[in-house]
Structure 1
Amino acid sequence: MSEIINVLTNPDSFFKEKMTERIQFKMPALIVVLNALMGAISGYIMVKAILSSAAVGGGFAGAGAIFVAVGGFLGVLVLWPIYTAVFYGLSALFGGEGSFKRSLEFVGYGYIPVLLNSIFGLYAINQVSDSLRASSANPAQIAQMLSNDPIMQVATLVGIIFQLWSANIWIFGLKNARNLNLRGALISVGIPIGLLILYSLISYIGGIA
């Protein structure tokens, strides 16, 4: 627990200490897998509610929800090395040095705030799913309902806050893993994450407009 607190409160000091140790994937992999599980559960609940609302047969609704859940689980696992590769590649423009494995390890720790957000997101989805099951809306109407739902709008804003928290951890993780100055690490992480946050903001504004 103290290790997690250190990552969240003082990532630069945490990663500096980690640089003196051998690469270990046990903890970061556990963090990412837990995120994947939360994503799978959220996807299952949401899709089953949507398909039930659309009067899809119980068996088909369950199968569709399972398919999405598996895809969501694998998607989170795949994004871990993809994020790392993007950060790693951009950091090379600033003279970054250090192994991809070390970067992968440190990026895994940055998923802790994402995990906290996933817990809140699961609560939000569980609340919204009840109203979806009770409706008989078509897919377009369901999308509008989700965009206009206050709980989902709050979840979007909370997600952006936690994404910024993760980005802060990734900045200091990359700074140490790739031996960068703070400016280089900030740009390497800030460009891709900034684009993701911009997309979330546009979606949020579109939902409340």
Structure 2
Amino acid sequence: MNEIINVLTNPDSFFKKKMTERIHFKIPFFIVILNALLGAISGYIMVKAILSSAAVGVGFASIGAIGGALGGFLGVLIVWPIYTAVFYGLSALFGGEGSFKRSLEFVGYGYIPALLNSIFGLYVINQISASLQATAADPAQMAQMLSNDPLMQVATLVGIIFQLWSANIWIFGLKNARNLNLRGALISVGLPVGLLILYSLISYIGGIA
């Protein structure tokens, strides 16, 4: 628990200490797996609610929901090394030195805020799924309903806040893992994360327009 608190409140000090230790994936992998499991549950609930409301049949809705769960689970696992590869590649432009494995380990710790966001997101999806199942509409109409839903809009803003929190952890994780100055780490993480946040904001503005 102390490790979790330290990485959330003082990531630079936390990762400096970690640099003196061997690479261990146990805790970061556990963090990412928890995120993946929550993503799977959210995917299952959301896809089943959408397909059920579209009256496609119970069997097809169940199969689609399983596919949504699998996609939610694998999506989180796949994004972890992708994020690391992007940060790692960009940091090379600033003379970054250090192993990919160390970077992967430290990026895993940055998923702690995402875990908190996943818990909130699961609550939101649970609240929305009941109303979706009670509404007869095609998937395109469902997508529009979701983007206009005030609770989903709040979830988008909350998600951006947690994304920024994760980015802060990743900046200091990359700074230590790749032996960068703060500016190099900030750009290496801030550029891709900033683009993702910009996309989220555009989607949010489109939903409330």
Q: Is the aligned partner of 1:102 residue 2:98? A: no
**Alpha-carbon distance, 1:136 to partner:** 0.3
**Alpha-carbon distance, 1:141 to partner:** 1.4
Corresponding position of 1:171: 171
Q: Is the aligned partner of 1:180 residue 2:208? A: no
1:66-105 pair list within 5 angstroms: 66-105=66-105
Partner secondary structure for residue 67 of structure 1: helix
Partner secondary structure for residue 8 of structure 1: helix
Relative to the length of structure 1, the TM-score reads 0.99
Moved beyond 6 Å, runs of 4+ = none
Partner secondary structure for residue 125 of structure 2: helix
**Alpha-carbon distance, 1:68 to partner:** 1.5
Corresponding position of 1:3: 3
Counterpart residue identity of residue 109, structure 1: Y
Partner secondary structure for residue 136 of structure 1: coil
Partner secondary structure for residue 24 of structure 1: coil
Q: Is the aligned partner of 1:191 residue 2:157? A: no
User: Which structure 1 segments of 5+ residues have no match?
Assistant: none
**Alpha-carbon distance, 1:149 to partner:** 0.6
Deviations 1:79-105 (A, max 9, x none): 111100000000000000000000000
Q: In structure 2, what is the Cα distance between the partners aligned to 1:73 and 1:47?
A: 14
**Alpha-carbon distance, 1:16 to partner:** 0.3
User: Which structure 2 segments of 5+ residues have no match?
Assistant: none
Relative to the length of structure 2, the TM-score reads 0.99
Across the two proteins, how many residue pairs are aligned to each other? 209
Corresponding position of 2:114: 114
Report % sequence identity. 87
Q: In terms of mean alpha carbon deviation, does 89-98 or 66-75 score higher?
A: 66-75
Q: In structure 2, what is the Cα distance between the partners aligned to 1:207 and 1:107?
A: 31
Counterpart residue identity of residue 28, structure 1: P
Counterpart residue identity of residue 62, structure 2: G
**Alpha-carbon distance, 1:56 to partner:** 1.3
**Alpha-carbon distance, 1:167 to partner:** 0.1
Counterpart residue identity of residue 162, structure 1: F
**Alpha-carbon distance, 1:121 to partner:** 0.2
Corresponding position of 1:13: 13
Q: In structure 1, what is the Cα distance between the partners aligned to 2:80 and 2:140?
A: 32
Q: In structure 2, what is the Cα distance between the partners aligned to 1:133 and 1:81?
A: 35
**Alpha-carbon distance, 1:21 to partner:** 0.3
Q: In structure 1, what is the Cα distance between the partners aligned to 2:111 and 2:208?
A: 28
Corresponding position of 1:38: 38
